[in-house]
Structure 1
Amino acid sequence: MRVLPTDDNDGAGAGAARTPGRKRRRQRFLIFLAVLSLLAGSGLLAGGYYFDSVPTPTDLKLPESTTVYYADGRTPMATLGTENRTIVPYDQMNDSAKQAIVAAEDRTFWTNKGIDFSGVLRAAWSNLTGGQRQGASTITQQYARVAADLRGVTYSRKLREAVIAWKLDDKYSKEEILGFYLNTVPFGRGAYGIEAAAQTYFGKTVRRDAPASQQLTQAEAMVLCAMVKQPEADPADPEGAPGYDPRRNARARQNSIDRWNYIRDGMVKLGYLTPEQAANLAYPDTVKPIDPNAGRSGLDRPTGLVVNHVLGELRQTEPFKGKPDEVIRDGGYKIVTTVDKRVQEAAEAAADIRRDTAPEAVRDQPKNWQAALVAVEPGTGRVLGYYGGDSGTGADYAGWYYDESGQAHGFGQHPPGSSFKVYDLAAAVEDKISVKRHFDSPETKEFPASGRTKGSPAGPIRNAEHAACQPDCALWEATVASLNVTYFELTEKLGVAKVMDMAKRAGVDSMWETVKGNPQPQRVDLRDKPINEVAKRFSTEVGIGQYGITVQDHANGMATFAAGGKRAEAHFVRSVTKGDDKIYNEQLTTADLGLDDEAINQLDWTLRRVKAAQLDNGWDSAGKTGTWQAGQSTTQNVHTWMVGWTGALASAVWLGTTDGKPLKTKNGSYEVYGSTGPGPIWRQFMEQATAALKLDPDKYRFGEPKFPGDAPSTTGPTRPAPANPSPTFSRRPTPSVTPSSPDPSPTPSDPPTPTPTGSISLSPPPSPPPSRTPRPR
């Protein structure tokens, strides 16, 4: 008698060699007696069949990986879950894997009763007599083994496995069982189930409704089904027993080829292939290289921070509120984000200052330099690009999110300095204060009502820069020169509450206040209470950017102005589906700031004259720089900003340090400002992103103000209005849907992220106390 295959043998269902009838009957009789005695002794014969439960896939509730996609709904950003698995119903699979797995693992599958009786008896006899533990397993038995978590090669396991398989075969059709099996078994590289394997090894799918070029072929399915025999290398001998992954080493590749040939022969015997088809079938050399991050891609990259925000956002929605994260991660959902891959690539290329693609001004600088960038689509609030750091598992310098416990997590807040003056200016034009109105703008000025006098600890307000118009400047001139004296006076006239209310309505949801006795600023939710009450916690310095805000909020504020004063909620999730079920869809709504066209046009007209905001690609653009100094220093900056917009895209860029120390160049200079640091990042990003979106700049032209009641100044702006403004648009349109992507659904090393001390507190990296005089440039 020949040596029979072991538990995962190549010849499952092939049958044993024939012996003379009398000898064969005698052997079987002896085996039957041995097994009967064994069964009776263990009580498995009766108890096993009648009382052992049958774990079906419904009972198992198999964890199914959730995939996070870019806005196109086709390009994966990350895969979540404890197991990389995507369940595909049997009738939605093409035939490639169905045929290959039967040829590989159980050639009598369609005719057997779920059990290889001879294999079970053989295993029992061998185990009883002290021989090698062995015995063939059908596909049904293999599924039962996985489903019931039956481990080891023992007679008791084989018997229970057989009982469960027998009952499965009684209750379910062969098609159902094969579907259970293909969605359950491991294929190596962390892939569970045939769909995850097809994606992991070939970047394809088993779904029959996919384009033919994207479907798993017969030859490719045979490579995958070969791996079921040994999905991973033996950890005790990875070189000698590497398994069947052809990209692991030369021995594994030969193993794969040998078993592929065995499967091919079986497919001919079963009638799945003709001999001619088999002869023309070539072993595929298109298996993807082994990627340690396969199945978890994106979590350790910059987009991993986007995933944090996606999960934080979904935790606040009705379908997932109050539920553990496993519900999302292991739920088999398709999450489509708002992030446009083209915009994201432009954001990372510009803001990741460790890359060669970053602007020359910020490349190869000290390791403690750090940038953050957020881009928001005007009119929808969709976050199109997000860069808060180079690692999804590190610190997020662009924003914060709710963690699983419901607490605010992250520290993406920074004093905005003069970039916050955009909200002062918007509040002024809302109050019909023309940008041509003149203000007294000396080098320094006392403001007794706000406690800024020569005798006060902070002293009077001073301008960090000079302007040709001084000491009498129009508001637009003071804005371009970023004169602190003018804007402090403007904030006093408007009132702190008015300025904060404008920032809140535009998109700034949180602001960090300085609390006496607390070394770290504390987050205040501006939406939590009436703004008049909240404003009491802040001083007039709010108008010159002393109090921290996030890059994300600032970008959303810019998007509001870019949309003509229509504020939308910044968000990261477009849709969540599972199969054909729609679980969640974004709600696109806007709120009107109340700024009329004249106010918006004056805002645009003024901020387009900021030199750092001018693009070289034909787009109308507006923006503002800002810096904040270290302590009482007048020459060293810790935070630098550039924020702005076109009619189609708004963004905010922060450049600072990870340790709170002043920005110092590799050449030892402290001359780092909004125009020289984040300015180049912002301009490169805006130019590359708008080019990638392939939009027509003529459709997004800014309107021209009429300056009612005030004759235009004869003082020339730094940049004239367009020579040929579009005759069609008095200002850019407000999009109701994203122009960047269609609806995808047809129906130094970073410091550890600090833990917040309370629901309204987020801790930033340690930094010196802020000065009360921002640098304007």
Structure 2
Amino acid sequence: MPQTPSDAVAPAGTSTGQPAKAAGKRSRRRTWRVGGLAVLLVMCGGGAAIGALYVDTVPPPDELVLPESTTLYYADGKTPMAKLGTENRTILAYEQMNDAVKQAIVAAEDRTFWTNEGIDFRGVMRAAWNNVTGGDRQGASTITQQYARIAADLKGVTYSRKLREAVMAWKLDDEHSKEEILGFYLNTVPFGRGAYGIEAAAQAFFGKTARKDASRESQLMPSEAAVLAAMVKQPEANPDDPEGQPGYDPKRNDKARQNSIDRWRYIRDGMVALGYLTAAEGADLAYPDTVRDYDPRAGQSGLDRPTGLVVNHVLSELRGTEPFKDRPFDYVRNGGFRIVTTVDKRAQDAAEAAANIRGEKAPEVVRGQPKNWQSALVAVEPGSGRVLAYYGGDDGLGADYAGWYFDDEGNAAGFGQHPPGSSFKVYDLAEAVRQDISPKQRFDSPATKEFPKSGRTRDTAAGPIRNSGSAACQPECTLWEATVASLNTTYFALTEQLGVPAVIDMARKAGVESMWANERGKPEPVRVALGETDAASRFSTEVGIGQYGITVQDHANGMATFAAGGERAQSHFVRSVSKGDDKIYEEQLTRTDVGLNAEQANQLNWTLRRVEAAKVPGWDAAGKTGTWQAGKSTTQNQHAWMVGYTGAIAAAVWLGTKDGKPLRTKDGSYDVFGASHPGRIWQQFMTDAAKAMELNPDDYRFGEPKFPGETPSAPPSAETPAPPTASPEPADTPRPTPSTEPTPEPEPTRTPKPTPSTRPTTPPAPREVAPRA
């Protein structure tokens, strides 16, 4: 391949250096041309271009504000979680680029590059003259002009843009060497597929590199470089006519492939004409058939894994902060930010292992179950609100069963609200001890009981409240016994005694920010922010036994509050955001008191520690199970829960179905309860996460209650079973129809449209805007 001694990519017979005399002539010639150009600018009214002559400067690529990838990290700040950005760019020094890419781009875009003065004067004059005469404003642009246009973000084909571009190109050519300019250009020009610069393009189209120090097999060859050079003419299809003007990506469609081949031949011929290839080499050069299929997610990574759902929550959370409020949706993605999340890699791995019921590491009881089964798990750090682990599904680009978030357009997306059943009783219990009702206080606890005040009698459509199971203490049980046995009659009576507003207020203070209410005339429950005025008026007494949907994330945060002794922290996903050396955002750790004193918190923990499913070897652990039936069935469950905490980790686990059908095991059984399946997931996660995070259980022991006036029995140890219930965990009472329905307030703007929790539904497609049960 012919090459000059002074420059490997300059055409044969040319030189990038010039004698002093020749340089002087060139300088005088440039002065005359610039003077003529200035006169023409005045004649054509090109004030902006005149300003460019004296004011504008063209920065090099490393100073351009071009789109950059944003990277999310786990909490350690070192381990990448995901890479974002619709545009991908990797800068290479000119000296690092191989000859093939330099030669191909010159042959494609500017064959006089090495000898021209940075400006196509004829094209500029033509554009200016056509402005006066009303002719075509288009005109040829040199590589130098094209770079000036990119650097100055000059858009459109107006004559003033062309003139300003020319002036800036002239200044660029005067201040930088040809090699520098070509390097600038190759590092910034768009090649399509979101690739900016030759290195990103090499990876996107061929899975290769443009680096000349790489192995021959991994470097771009001349035929491949010509394919990429062809892309510059039209990097993307015309959005108004994608079929008619598809561009030059050979994998887009047949017309684009033919466009690519035709321009590739033009570039090959140019490489021969410029002496980069001999005639024989040009004749032997073949159009490559190794172009990769187009992957619209190229340049991004980690989004298809479970943590892809974390990315959605991170972006949603940031849009609510001052540095990112009202910014375009791609501001974070393409901003080159470094985002450190709260998610601990060790806890996340444990969550994915336990909750992925189709994986090999999940508890045996949930492995190999029907394909319509779905689980979700969220873990929160007590006292800080940091989300340590988040599993809303195995597909990060699919439906989110653990929570909801605002998408790029401000719409609610997710699939994460489910009726919590008896697991919601933790908030009744917390409010009860706050009101000084002792867990040892006795309650009337019959198998069936009428509640006229709440419209639950034999004469109403909803019928009386009943227990599906039983306990040895009946018909009169202490509150702690009723908690362990999940007696609905006891807790319905307790909710009436406490008052629905008080129970809801405790749930809100603990961390349940939203519940989904049934409203007359609406087929699907509506999300209600519990902080709204009169939010409690939209719910009936059935709230106390878990009728109304909540999210797995909120439930986990509620557990974290109780683990912290009643100190609630806001659950969140972002620890910090930085760019370069600048810290853009840092988490704000605050706590609010839910109103429990130390004795009351100890009584709450003491009671929930007696739940058999809440056992974590070696740890003080507390928790509660829950189920909600399918429709009005008394034998089939649609939702099963296990929620609980140690002093170090709080977690909520939900198990349900994607299609709203009852939970039926692979053996055909409907015996699916909170303790039997989600309880095993919860126990495995809590054990494995604590071990992986090297947490010492002795640092997180619970205090013991005093029970004024009594000597309490010893609390159960992590190895000592709590008093057993007489039957498996009962299913909660079928969802009632309240005898009176409050007049709903208008649904708040930008709240998610929830899903029915009373009838089977088909889940939405990934990212559908509506959490569904």
TM-score above 0.5, yes or no? yes
Matches within 5 A, 1:159-198: 165-171=169-175, 180-181=184-185, 183-185=187-189, 191-193=195-197
Q: Does 1:100 align with 2:96?
A: yes
Taking structure 1 as reference, are residues 317 and 478 closer, same or farther at Cα in structure 2, changes over 3 Å only? Answer: same
TM-fit CA distance, 1:562 = 1.0
Q: 1:366-411 CA distances to partner (integer Å, 9 max, x unpaired)?
A: 2221111111111111111111122233221111112334343333
Q: Distance in 2 between matches of 1:335 and 1:196?
A: 22
Q: 1:193-243 CA distances to partner (integer Å, 9 max, x unpaired)?
A: 58968999999x99xxxxxxxxx99658996787866559985599xxxxx
**Paired residue for 2:604?**
603
**Paired residue for 2:701?**
701
Matches within 5 A, 1:332-347: 332-347=336-351
**Paired residue for 2:309?**
305
Taking structure 1 as reference, are residues 235 and 493 closer, same or farther at Cα in structure 2, changes over 3 Å only? Answer: closer
Contact 1:68 / 1:337 at 8 angstroms: preserved in 2?
yes
Matches within 5 A, 1:257-268: none
Taking structure 1 as reference, are residues 428 and 445 closer, same or farther at Cα in structure 2, changes over 3 Å only? Answer: same
Matches within 5 A, 1:280-295: 293-295=297-299
Taking structure 1 as reference, are residues 704 and 193 closer, same or farther at Cα in structure 2, changes over 3 Å only? Answer: farther
Q: Does 1:431 align with 2:427?
A: no
Q: Does 1:400 align with 2:404?
A: yes
TM-fit CA distance, 1:548 = 0.8
Matches within 5 A, 1:207-286: 219=214, 231=228, 236=250
Q: Distance in 2 between matches of 1:553 and 1:409?
A: 16
Residue identity in the other structure for 1:768: T
Q: Distance in 1 between matches of 2:144 and 2:591?
A: 56
Q: Does 1:16 align with 2:13?
A: yes
Contact 1:438 / 1:474 at 8 angstroms: preserved in 2?
yes
Q: Distance in 2 between matches of 1:702 and 1:718?
A: 12
Contact 2:98 / 2:212 at 8 angstroms: preserved in 1?
no
Taking structure 1 as reference, are residues 198 and 348 closer, same or farther at Cα in structure 2, changes over 3 Å only? Answer: farther
TM-fit CA distance, 1:635 = 0.4
Contact 1:630 / 1:636 at 8 angstroms: preserved in 2?
yes
Q: 1:18-70 CA distances to partner (integer Å, 9 max, x unpaired)?
A: 9xxxxxx9xxxxxx9xxx9xx99xx99x9999779789459974222222222
**Paired residue for 1:511?**
515
**Paired residue for 1:563?**
564
TM-fit CA distance, 1:644 = 0.6
Structure 1 unmatched runs, 5+:
19-24, 26-31, 89-95, 108-113, 125-136, 152-157, 207-215, 239-262, 264-287, 723-755, 771-777
**Paired residue for 2:371?**
367
3-state SS of the aligned residue for 2:311? helix
**Paired residue for 1:494?**
498
Matches within 5 A, 1:654-669: 654-669=654-669
The partner residue of 2:753 within 748, 751, 763 is 763
Contact 2:525 / 2:757 at 8 angstroms: preserved in 1?
no
Larger mean Cα displacement after TM superposition, 220-229 or 389-398: 220-229
Residue identity in the other structure for 2:381: E
Q: 1:113-168 CA distances to partner (integer Å, 9 max, x unpaired)?
A: x951179999x9xxxxxxxxxxxx998678458669999xxxxxx99999865431
Q: 1:260-308 CA distances to partner (integer Å, 9 max, x unpaired)?
A: xxx9xxxxxxxxxxxxxxxxxxxxxxxx999985421122332222111
Residue identity in the other structure for 1:694: E
Residue identity in the other structure for 1:449: K
TM-fit CA distance, 1:454 = 2.0
Residue identity in the other structure for 1:305: L
Q: Distance in 2 between matches of 1:678 and 1:664?
A: 14
The partner residue of 2:115 within 95, 114, 117 is 117
Contact 1:101 / 1:222 at 8 angstroms: preserved in 2?
no
Taking structure 1 as reference, are residues 50 and 104 closer, same or farther at Cα in structure 2, changes over 3 Å only? Answer: farther
Residue identity in the other structure for 1:100: Q
Larger mean Cα displacement after TM superposition, 674-683 or 163-172: 163-172
**Paired residue for 1:622?**
622
Q: Distance in 2 between matches of 1:492 and 1:605?
A: 24
3-state SS of the aligned residue for 1:319? helix
The partner residue of 2:415 within 393, 398, 411 is 411
Contact 2:93 / 2:183 at 8 angstroms: preserved in 1?
no
3-state SS of the aligned residue for 1:490? helix
Taking structure 1 as reference, are residues 426 and 62 closer, same or farther at Cα in structure 2, changes over 3 Å only? Answer: same
Structure 2 unmatched runs, 5+:
16-21, 23-28, 104-111, 123-140, 156-161, 232-247, 253-275, 277-291, 723-745, 761-773
TM-fit CA distance, 1:317 = 1.0
3-state SS of the aligned residue for 2:660? coil
Taking structure 1 as reference, are residues 407 and 159 closer, same or farther at Cα in structure 2, changes over 3 Å only? Answer: closer
3-state SS of the aligned residue for 1:117? coil
Contact 2:525 / 2:755 at 8 angstroms: preserved in 1?
no
Larger mean Cα displacement after TM superposition, 706-715 or 391-400: 706-715
Taking structure 1 as reference, are residues 437 and 217 closer, same or farther at Cα in structure 2, changes over 3 Å only? Answer: farther
Contact 1:661 / 1:768 at 8 angstroms: preserved in 2?
no
**Paired residue for 1:445?**
449
**Paired residue for 2:690?**
690
**Paired residue for 1:278?**
none
Q: Distance in 1 between matches of 2:293 and 2:408?
A: 35
Taking structure 1 as reference, are residues 613 and 167 closer, same or farther at Cα in structure 2, changes over 3 Å only? Answer: same
**What's the Cα RMSD here?**
5.0
Residue identity in the other structure for 1:479: T
TM-fit CA distance, 1:362 = 1.7
Residue identity in the other structure for 1:316: G
3-state SS of the aligned residue for 1:707? coil
Q: Distance in 2 between matches of 1:703 and 1:177?
A: 70
Residue identity in the other structure for 1:614: K
Q: Distance in 1 between matches of 2:595 and 2:352?
A: 35
Q: Distance in 2 between matches of 1:716 and 1:101?
A: 69
Residue identity in the other structure for 1:669: S
Q: TM-score, normalised by structure 2?
A: 0.70
TM-fit CA distance, 1:576 = 1.5
Q: Distance in 1 between matches of 2:570 and 2:715?
A: 39
Q: 1:691-730 CA distances to partner (integer Å, 9 max, x unpaired)?
A: 21111111111222222222325998996499xxxxxxxx
**Paired residue for 1:29?**
none
Number of aligned residue pairs: 634
**Paired residue for 2:675?**
675
